[in-house]
Structure 1
């Protein structure tokens, strides 16, 4: 590791640009240092994620120019806390970042510059954070000892993701990261500490890595594959690591968004959004997106929160875990969906029981008819749901009848004047038309545009107005229409009965 410390510098200049290192203090003394953590979040919920970071960690997060990413400083003694954030998908420690990187016009010059950049970056502190993060995950039992097959790491959303190409035929001698003995912030007993050091030393004998490039922008002369290949080759030559696309220990991230360049090292092997769901359906929402939707409506103690189209129960399950002071009702008209929801709840309860925590969750599951909910009028405080987009579930044609029926039934059960609803849908035209037909029962307060599986969707925050259900002009008009139709039908029936048989 001494070679890293000799080569690494705190600030580097590339073509007149100054990079920001990942920390401001060297780790060779074992002191607590300050680093910059990057996190990918559901697109559109960057501000929600920044609020959570401020609330739980006390750091001010900066939202990236590239949508779906935030950056915030922390000290290494709080590293474990970043894995407890509910609104982030993937985490990485920043090695260096350039706000306005001037790429060369020709591809060859740009790729050569990226190769030269790899050997001048301040890698030392970021690698020490990677080691500390690895140790923390081992203590929690998230990873097995040894070089086992790992789940393929999911990189941040981008136009293209690519990995570094294979190593030369003759693999160089690997450098051990265990040469530098850094004091861990966590202070277990000496036996456990010694065991962790031995495991780390064994794992570090052969360091395997890959480079993932996430690029966005149309003014680049190179592709993501080319950038990952050339930058990865330079990283391999500098550290003498072994390239491995699947069983890697370290994933180096090269994030390029127009003129913004961020180099980092991944801290998560699998996206954190899979934390609660074990039984997936065709349209299961990410837990991170569910958390963002729930934060929009700000659940309060003793609130009754309803998801009338729960699917696999991702929304009410996330709420019951993170906002446990409220009570959740999960319902669906599909028996398979209800079964998946029950299984997911049982999975969480079993996991809690194994950890010795109270296994109960404030949630109940019901199978019902969406247009005729078995719920008292004006008894629900908040409704949070994911409505059918009309693609994988239902159809756009059916939505024109489904949406108005759903919104009216939701208005009936929601408390007038204080009730709220957070609704996710990609069928924006149908939803807007349905809201306009509600007779003032709902009022749109805010819209968050999100990316759901590549689809541009909207998360709508609605306020239930004080208008009483069944007394709006539209209700009276529809009621009269139904009465007139019934009277005409009765008159026709009586007239037919009076006609003589011929």
Structure 2
């Protein structure tokens, strides 16, 4: 911790050698793996792979790792021997990259049942560690492999900043996968007709180089939140209070569409979706360019697939099953029929 009690900063440009666990969303592991396989700036070896995490042997600076969008948290692997692993990380790993004018590391212990208190006492016995449940550098939690220490400054919101949220806002990791699937090219117009608080538009603007970002939502309060989120990031966006069933855009004017469609659970109902999905997908087909591409997220899957089949000119070319908070939505890549270029890419 620092002298004023705040968590210590992480020197992202210090070279480290450590065992790190990256936790992500089931369905996003392949994208995380591919990003690690192709990025430069560090030597990375995948030690273990799970449906929601990758364990890495990591050598290099942390800055390229922190720039990756496809994981929620990064943690120091403390198993199989926490004492030894703490020493190693303090000497040459992530803990060595914590900076501040105090040698103490603030930590908390997550909900580990009755073992929580013994683990807390074990760490607090080290004079270099201080238990601070509300203001911490390292969060000690369990994982399938054993104890890990989540690094506060490597949380997703710490790396990229928090956003205003609407009910059922898209998880940013899922959103990053959707933006990747959209294959946005420089200068293209990107539309989210169910924008909520604009999470997908912000991700599109920060992960790619689009032209105009357009967001629409039938709820004016959410459109206002989206406007705040998009403009606070310095992005060029037009946020409108519009109904996705009646889009105010010319035929064939939109290059890319990304949207988290109402699942019919937290937002809307399945009965409402039966009426709304055909109208919304009809509008998507109308406004999308002949070589356009839409990435649409929903858990109302049977209705979605049947509606696409009945919608003139549209077809699904890819489905990615994702998972978050007990929900199991799929991201569908939808193109115009006859767009062979989309399949090749």
Q: Counterpart in 1 of 2:87? A: 124
2:302 is the alignment partner of 1:457:
no
Q: Counterpart in 2 of 1:444? A: 316
Q: Identify the match of residue 300 of structure 1 among 185, 190, 207.
A: 185
Q: Counterpart in 1 of 2:268? A: 394
Q: Identify the match of residue 408 of structure 1 among 251, 260, 282.
A: 282
2:334 is the alignment partner of 1:334:
no
2:156 is the alignment partner of 1:272:
yes
In the TM superposition, residue 300 of structure 1 has moved relative to its aligned partner by 1.3
Q: Counterpart in 2 of 1:162? A: none
2:75 is the alignment partner of 1:92:
yes
Within 2, Cα distance between the matches of 1:385 and 1:399?
Answer: 15
Residues 217 and 243 in structure 2, CA contact (< 8 A), matched pair in contact too: yes
Q: Identify the match of residue 133 of structure 2 among 222, 242, 245.
A: 245
Within 2, Cα distance between the matches of 1:273 and 1:87?
Answer: 12
TM value normalised by structure 1: 0.58
Within 2, Cα distance between the matches of 1:413 and 1:118?
Answer: 56
Residues 273 and 286 in structure 1, CA contact (< 8 A), matched pair in contact too: no
Higher strand fraction (1 or 2): 2
Within 2, Cα distance between the matches of 1:405 and 1:378?
Answer: 17
- Superposition CA RMSD, Å: 2.8
Secondary structure at 1:311 match in 2: coil
Structure 2: gaps spanning 5 or more residues: 1-13, 340-345
In the TM superposition, residue 325 of structure 1 has moved relative to its aligned partner by 4.0
Residues 230 and 236 in structure 2, CA contact (< 8 A), matched pair in contact too: no
- 1:329-362 residue CA offsets vs partner (Å, 9 max, x unmatched): 111222111111111123223xxxxxxxxxxx23
Structure 1: gaps spanning 5 or more residues: 1-30, 98-116, 136-195, 214-223, 350-360, 468-502
TM value normalised by structure 2: 0.83
Within 2, Cα distance between the matches of 1:54 and 1:71?
Answer: 13
Within 1, Cα distance between the matches of 2:245 and 2:106?
Answer: 55
Q: Counterpart in 2 of 1:74? A: 58
Residues 297 and 330 in structure 2, CA contact (< 8 A), matched pair in contact too: yes
Aligned positions of 1:129-168 closer than 5 A: 129-135=93-99
Q: Counterpart in 2 of 1:209? A: 107
Secondary structure at 1:283 match in 2: coil
Within 2, Cα distance between the matches of 1:427 and 1:376?
Answer: 28
Secondary structure at 1:389 match in 2: coil
Within 1, Cα distance between the matches of 2:253 and 2:177?
Answer: 24
Residues 48 and 32 (structure 1 numbering): CA distance in 2 closer, same or farther, change over 3 Å? closer
Matched residues, number? 323
Residues 91 and 423 (structure 1 numbering): CA distance in 2 closer, same or farther, change over 3 Å? same
In the TM superposition, residue 264 of structure 1 has moved relative to its aligned partner by 2.9
Q: Counterpart in 1 of 2:209? A: 324
